Each structure stands twice: as structure tokens, then as C-alpha cells.
Amino acid sequence: MVTGDVKLIGSWASVFVMRTRIALNLKSISYEFLQETYGTKSELLLKSNPVHKKMPVLIHADKPVCESNIIVQYIDEAWSSYGPSILPSQPYDRAIARFWAAYVDDKWFIALRSILTARGEEEKKAAIAEVEERTDHLEKAFIECSNGKLITRLSTHQLT
């Protein structure tokens, strides 16, 4: 594992923190996980992310990097010779990967949250339908971006 002065501020339950932890693990980077508690914000979090005041924050050599998608890109570039590349090497393919990451954050998660906040059965059904539609978009994009490799993997790992 790569060692160094790497810390991650976050909560284990946050999907955005999970995204960052997956990237760190893919690159085999050891890091100190600084657990935040929802509803409170540590002094280190507020100092490290004074604009948005939210997690995750990656601290590398005492320099903070904020926002999960930006952190993943930073990890991929800062440790480019370690582990597999997280983002595609071609500029167009990288742009497409960034588009779908933003789609997940800006569209899919919001639709998913709307299921929890729905009032009444009809609103809940509409929210579920929206999540299903957005999930269909993601599935099609994953298949297209994988050039058919995803189909092969799925068909060989089907649950019976």
C-alpha cells in the first residue's frame, strides 16, 4: 500500500464518502479515516472546506481537496502509477465518465431521495418510476461505455 500523509474526513454512511474510499482502495492508498458525525461539523472539516462545509474532504500533505468527484479525479492523477486508472485515458471518454458521475449526483440521487420524502402512495409510485427511468439511463450508458464488456461480465455472473 502507498503510505503518506493522507486523511479522509467523512461519514461511513455517505455515498459520496464511499465513492472516495473506493477510489483510495482501488489505488491501494492507505489513509486515516476521520469519522464525522451527522449534524455536527468538526473544526477540521470547517477549516478544510470553508465554502461548502461538507464532506468528504481528502487531505493530502496538509492540502485539502473537496467534493467527491473532484477527489476521485485528484486521486487518479496524484497516484497515476498506482493501481488501475480510475478514469479513461482518452479525453472524450473522460468527459463521458464525468458527465455520468454528475448525472448520478444531480439527477439519480435526487430522484432516489424523493422516494423517502414522497407523501402518499401516488407520489411514491411516481418517484419510484422516476428512479427506474434514471436507472435505465445509467444501465444503457454503462453498457455503451464498456463496449459490451459489461454484458459479458453480467451474463457470466448471473445469479441463479
Question: What is the DSSP secondary-structure string of 58-124?
Answer: EEETTEEEESHHHHHHHHHHHTTTSSS-SS-SSHHHHHHHHHHHHHIIIIIHHHHHHHHH--SHHHH
Fold of 91-156: Glutathione S-transferase Yfyf (Class Pi); Chain A, domain 2 (1.20.1050)
Report which of 140, 103, 71 is spatially closest to residue 112, judged by C-alpha positions. 103
Q: What is the pLDDT of residue 145?
A: 79
Cβ neighbours, 10 Å, residue 34: 17
pLDDT at res. 3: 57
Predicted confidence at residue 146, as pLDDT, reads 76
**Which pLDDT score is estimated for 148?**
65
User: pLDDT at position 152, please?
Assistant: 47
Looking at domain 6-78, its CATH superfamily turns out to be Glutaredoxin (3.40.30.10)
Q: What is the pTM of this model?
A: 0.79
| Positions in the chain whose pLDDT score sits under 50 | 152-160
Residue at grid coordinates 457470466 = 156
- C-alpha to C-alpha distance for 63 and 87, rounded to whole angstroms: 22
Same fold, 6-78 and 91-156: no
What is the structure's pLDDT at 149?
63
How many Å apart are CA 83 and CA 143, to the nearest integer?
A: 23
Domain boundaries, the chain: 6-78, 91-156
- CA dist 146 and 89 (Å) reads 14
